[in-house]
Chains A and B, each alone.
Chain A
Amino acid sequence: MKPSQRLRLKKILAHGFLLVALALVVLPFLMVLVASLRKGNFPPNSLWLNPDQWSLEHWKYVLNIPYSEIVNPSTGETRMVQPPTPPLHWLWNSVIVSAVSSAGIILLSSTAAYAFARMRFKFRGHILQSLLILQMFPAVLALTAYYTILDSVGRHVEWLGLNTLPGLIAIYLAGVSTNIWMIKGYFDTIPASMEESARIDGASPFQTFVRILLPVSVPIFAVVFILSFIYTMSEYPVASAVLGTPKTWTLAVGASSLLREHEKLWGHFAALAVLSGVPITVMFLVCQRFVIGGLTSGGIKE
């Protein structure tokens, strides 16, 4: 075999392998799209619909438009229904919780990251190490404690107790430990020379932090925001234990509630998954370059 032929064979093999991998990745999503347009509630299992299987009922359900549901299959009797809690309300709850907790994490961790990067003080290494170790403990392990604490807080301060979004946000703020490390890692890569010359000109450490370091650190704040936003959007165990009523559910809890043991509403779920999954995915892909830079430069996160 000539070298050019061998190269071509290798390319064909590589493309073949990648195409199989691609099929395994993409086909599930296409099937969900099809399932969301299929009449009745079937798990995602086909790429093709016969003309009589098309229906927009699930999309109407998700968009909170009244739709007709078959009450009696033998007579074909129907009635108009509308969900008690619009499913998009869950997406909205998720967006609020994720945005507020991500912003809160940045606010709480940036000054500490500055101190760790630029100042020298007692126990600095020890505190940094314990941050790194404790960030590997997932919140679900301390769930009983979070649950009990919120329960007793809620007896005195109702809006911060169980079954409230602020209560959930408070738990998500535990993400500070990971992010102090990420932001510190970025500060470390910025040369201190500019800050030093500002200090010689008489600026206080706080002024150099706000005027010089913060403006050049926007990219890392974007990374931290996106990563913790995506993490909280997808967080299930804490949200499901803390939030009890459909009005306060987040997307993760609401979507899984559609697939309960006895009544699995696959079509409804599929439409909700497409509608809410697409914007988050697009956001991630757009910010991809940022995020991947952050992944490889600062700390370890999954």
Chain B
Amino acid sequence: MILPTVSPIRLLIAALVTLPVLYLDFLTYQSGNNWLGVVILGLLALGLYIYLSPRAYTFRYLFPGLFAFSLFVIFPLLYTVYISFTNYSSRHLLSYQNVAELLEQDSYIVPDTPCYDYVLYRQGSAKYVLLLVDQSNREQRFLSEPFDLPPGQTVHYPTLVKISAIEPSRSIEGEPLKIAQVTRQGLFIPMRGYQFLLPNGQTLEKEGLDQFCGRNKIWKRNPDGSFTNQKTNSTIRPDFARGIFVDEQGEQIGIGFRAFTGLDSYVKIVTDPEIQLPFVRIFLWTVAFSAISAAGAFAIGMVLAVILEWKEMGLRKVYRTLLILPYAVPAVLSILIFKGLFNQEFGAVNEFLHAVFRFAPQWETNPWGARAMVLLVNLWLGYPYMMLICTGMLQSIPSSIYEASAIEGSNPFTDFFHITLPLVFPPLLPVLIASFAFNFNNFSVIYLLTGGGPKMVGGGNAGETDILVSYTYSLAFRSSENNYALASAIATLLFFLVGTLAWINLRMSSRRIVY
């Protein structure tokens, strides 16, 4: 018999890890997330195999990194693609199950039944009883069994509490609470979860702040998935293609639910004029913005790097340290500072331009002014990185080349264009492409400077300086529609774009990268 080569200590550790994970999995399974439970179980099995079997030795090292990568990078990417095929938005916010549960909770005040005034009594430290007095016949009084009211917390609806009739004269134990006290102690919130059951079978619920009334459920769920209205006897059924409940006439009833709608969001990008027009314009501006930002920052960085590499200049260290500042200061702060400097009325830029040139551009209200401002700020933010990279490249060029060309009688400009640039440009191309891709999704600079504004005429949520990624943010988080599905569809298109750029970049730099 071959004994396993696993040491007892390792088995003990494995057992200590396995037990809590199994318990967690059990809880997950119990809360109704069956699929998640299966996934956790699978991961646990995979982890145990990797850390116990000698054959999977390499993966013991890879597991933490690749696990985090799958969970925090790949899973959200796939989930984004999934959302883009649904109708997830504020009008279809909840799952079908949640909406069906809400329908089942819908109730109406039963006509021709009395409402009740109430007094809440505290018994002991945490138990409460409710005294109900019939408004039409004050002799008719009911007292509930004791129940809990955790202050400020919700109680699962509906939690039933029985109430029974008591004689008018009977006194009640405990401390009566005024409505103001009930409010201040946060007791209304848990009270919303309770239903009080009269001896005759009618349930009572809180109605406003100061009374309880009889309520019945409106909808009854039928075995075939449809719901029947108890008052009018009409029937509604879910339409899973559209994510709504419809009545017999096909009209929407109640709120919608999340449903799989296939390519709808993508079709909308191409056909809906309110999306299509801004989409094309935003796309073109995004390309222009990233190209100018990458090329401009490169040009400025290169010029500064060349000057700072000139050995006969004094104070090079001081200049270099101060010129990196835009890279060292947190970008969010710099961007917000520039928002102030470019302020149209009081900002430093316009005060200076007005004093010297009698000219004050509209950085905030004119689309071209706003675009120029965004670009200027982004160049300011971007050049130090390029300067650092270029400096590194320049230092790797042997000085003998320049000495040789000096003997030939060259000047600095021919040196730069005939020696430096041809040597430096090919290895820097991947950096330029990466910078293009980075600026393609440079959310902060746009969003914090202009918020995408000024507004695009006839473009819905779109603004004149919006780039695609800030536009998706507005669609998802700033508009009242919260169109998560459409935002995810645009994000999915961006994945392909950025992925293609990254792939090209990889091909170009693969000569330099050693695996």
* A128 contacts B by Cβ under 8 Å: yes
Within 8 A of A (CB), among B60-81: 60-69, 72-77, 79-80
Stretch at the interface among B38-46, B169-177, B273-281, B325-333: B325-333
Tell me whether A21 and B323 are in contact in the complex, defined as CB-CB below 8 angstroms, given that A11-B312, A234-B331, A236-B444 are known contacts.
Answer: yes
Q: What distance in Å separates the Cβ of B307 from its nearest Cβ neighbour in chain A?
A: 5
* A220 contacts B by Cβ under 8 Å: no
B351 & A45 in contact (Cβ 8 Å cutoff) = yes
* B495 contacts A by Cβ under 8 Å: yes
Within 8 A of A (CB), among B296-318: 304, 307-308, 310, 312-315
A111 & B469 in contact (Cβ 8 Å cutoff) = no
* B194 contacts A by Cβ under 8 Å: no
Contacts of B75 in A (CB 8 A): 149
* A202 contacts B by Cβ under 8 Å: no
A145 & B514 in contact (Cβ 8 Å cutoff) = no
Q: Chain A 118-157 against B: per-residue CB contact (8 Å), 1 yes, 0 no?
A: 0101001101110111101110111111111100000010
B333 & A273 in contact (Cβ 8 Å cutoff) = yes
Bound CA–CA A107/B319 (angstroms): 37
* B425 contacts A by Cβ under 8 Å: no
* A67 contacts B by Cβ under 8 Å: no
Stretch at the interface among B140-148, B400-408, B483-491: B483-491
Within 8 A of B (CB), among A177-198: 177, 180, 188
Tell me whether A22 and B322 are in contact in the complex, defined as CB-CB below 8 angstroms, given that A109-B65, A176-B72, A276-B333 are known contacts.
Answer: yes
* A70 contacts B by Cβ under 8 Å: no
* B340 contacts A by Cβ under 8 Å: yes
Contacts of A111 in B (CB 8 A): 60-62, 64-65
Query: Which residue of A has the minimal Cβ distance to B81?
Result: A145
Within 8 A of A (CB), among B479-512: 484, 487-488, 491, 494-495, 498-499, 501-503, 505-506
Tell me whether A302 and B434 are in contact in the complex, defined as CB-CB below 8 angstroms, given that A234-B330, A255-B332, A295-B389 are known contacts.
Answer: yes
Within 8 A of B (CB), among A197-238: 205, 209, 230, 233-234, 236-237
* A103 contacts B by Cβ under 8 Å: no
Bound CA–CA A226/B239 (angstroms): 53
* B477 contacts A by Cβ under 8 Å: yes
Q: Chain B 316-358 against A: per-residue CB contact (8 Å), 1 yes, 0 no?
A: 0001011111111111111011111101001110010000000
Stretch at the interface among A26-34, A49-57, A74-82: A26-34
Bound CA–CA A108/B62 (angstroms): 9
Bound CA–CA A134/B323 (angstroms): 31
B336 & A141 in contact (Cβ 8 Å cutoff) = no
B69 & A26 in contact (Cβ 8 Å cutoff) = no
* A256 contacts B by Cβ under 8 Å: yes
A252 & B330 in contact (Cβ 8 Å cutoff) = yes
Q: Choose from A18, A145, A241 the contact partner of B83 (Cβ within 8 Å).
A: A145
B348 & A140 in contact (Cβ 8 Å cutoff) = no
Main secondary structure of the interface of A (DSSP, over half): helix
Contacts of B491 in A (CB 8 A): 141-144
Bound CA–CA A292/B328 (angstroms): 12
Tell me whether A18 and B319 are in contact in the complex, defined as CB-CB below 8 angstroms, given that A111-B61, A138-B443 are known contacts.
Answer: yes
* A290 contacts B by Cβ under 8 Å: no
Q: What distance in Å separates the Cβ of B376 from its nearest Cβ neighbour in chain A?
A: 10
A25 & B65 in contact (Cβ 8 Å cutoff) = no
A295 & B388 in contact (Cβ 8 Å cutoff) = yes
Q: What distance in Å separates the Cβ of A123 from its nearest Cβ neighbour in chain B?
A: 10
Q: What distance in Å separates the Cβ of A256 from its nearest Cβ neighbour in chain B?
A: 6
Q: What distance in Å separates the Cβ of B468 from its nearest Cβ neighbour in chain A?
A: 9
* A66 contacts B by Cβ under 8 Å: no
A21 & B64 in contact (Cβ 8 Å cutoff) = no
B68 & A108 in contact (Cβ 8 Å cutoff) = yes
Q: Chain A 167-182 against B: per-residue CB contact (8 Å), 1 yes, 0 no?
A: 0001101101100100
Contacts of A28 in B (CB 8 A): 334, 337-338, 341, 348
Bound CA–CA A195/B413 (angstroms): 50
Q: How many positions in chain B have a CB within 8 Å of any CB in the partner chain?
A: 96
Tell me whether A44 and B348 are in contact in the complex, defined as CB-CB below 8 angstroms, given that A22-B322, A136-B434, A142-B76 are known contacts.
Answer: yes
* B37 contacts A by Cβ under 8 Å: no
* A300 contacts B by Cβ under 8 Å: yes
Q: Choose from B313, B332, B498 the contact partner of A256 (Cβ within 8 Å).
A: B332
Bound CA–CA A27/B473 (angstroms): 33
B385 & A302 in contact (Cβ 8 Å cutoff) = yes
Within 8 A of B (CB), among A84-128: 107-109, 111-116, 119, 121, 124-125, 127-128
Tell me whether A46 and B348 are in contact in the complex, defined as CB-CB below 8 angstroms, given that A111-B61, A156-B31 are known contacts.
Answer: yes
B337 & A137 in contact (Cβ 8 Å cutoff) = no
B328 & A128 in contact (Cβ 8 Å cutoff) = no
Contacts of B336 in A (CB 8 A): 255-256, 259, 269, 273
Within 8 A of A (CB), among B15-38: 28, 31, 33
A280 & B329 in contact (Cβ 8 Å cutoff) = yes
* A83 contacts B by Cβ under 8 Å: no
Bound CA–CA A111/B502 (angstroms): 25
Contacts of B67 in A (CB 8 A): 108
Bound CA–CA A237/B445 (angstroms): 11
B61 & A114 in contact (Cβ 8 Å cutoff) = yes
Tell me whether A25 and B326 are in contact in the complex, defined as CB-CB below 8 angstroms, given that A46-B348, A136-B434, A173-B72 are known contacts.
Answer: yes
B441 & A133 in contact (Cβ 8 Å cutoff) = no
Bound CA–CA A212/B331 (angstroms): 38
Bound CA–CA A43/B327 (angstroms): 22
Contacts of A156 in B (CB 8 A): 28, 31, 33
Bound CA–CA A131/B434 (angstroms): 15
* B240 contacts A by Cβ under 8 Å: no
Q: Chain A 262-294 against B: per-residue CB contact (8 Å), 1 yes, 0 no?
A: 000010010001001100110011001000100
Q: What distance in Å separates the Cβ of B225 from its nearest Cβ neighbour in chain A?
A: 24
Contacts of B434 in A (CB 8 A): 136, 300, 302
Contacts of A131 in B (CB 8 A): 69
Q: What distance in Å separates the Cβ of A10 from its nearest Cβ neighbour in chain B?
A: 8
* B437 contacts A by Cβ under 8 Å: yes
Q: Choose from B31, B58, B389, B441 the contact partner of A119 (Cβ within 8 Å).
A: B58
Contacts of A1 in B (CB 8 A): none
Q: What distance in Å separates the Cβ of A41 from its nearest Cβ neighbour in chain B?
A: 10
Contacts of B120 in A (CB 8 A): none
* B515 contacts A by Cβ under 8 Å: yes
Residues of B within 8 A of A (CB): 28, 31, 33, 57-69, 72-77, 79-80, 83, 88, 304, 307-308, 310, 312-315, 319, 321-334, 336-341, 343, 346-348, 351, 380, 385, 388-389, 392, 430-431, 434-435, 437-438, 441, 443-444, 447-448, 469, 472-473, 476-477, 484, 487-488, 491, 494-495, 498-499, 501-503, 505-506, 514-515
Residues of A within 8 A of B (CB): 7, 11, 14-15, 17-18, 21-22, 24-29, 31-32, 35, 42-46, 107-109, 111-116, 119, 121, 124-125, 127-129, 131-134, 136-138, 140-149, 156, 170-171, 173-174, 176-177, 180, 188, 205, 209, 230, 233-234, 236-237, 241, 251-252, 255-256, 259, 266, 269, 273, 276-277, 280-281, 284-285, 288, 292, 295-296, 300, 302
> What are some 9 contacts across the A-B interface (CB < 8 A)?
A14-B307, A18-B307, A43-B343, A127-B66, A133-B503, A141-B491, A141-B498, A145-B76, A280-B329
User: Can you name 11 extra interface pairs (CB under 8 A) apart from A108-B65, A133-B503, A236-B444?
Assistant: A25-B325, A26-B325, A112-B62, A119-B61, A133-B502, A133-B506, A144-B472, A176-B72, A234-B333, A281-B328, A300-B430
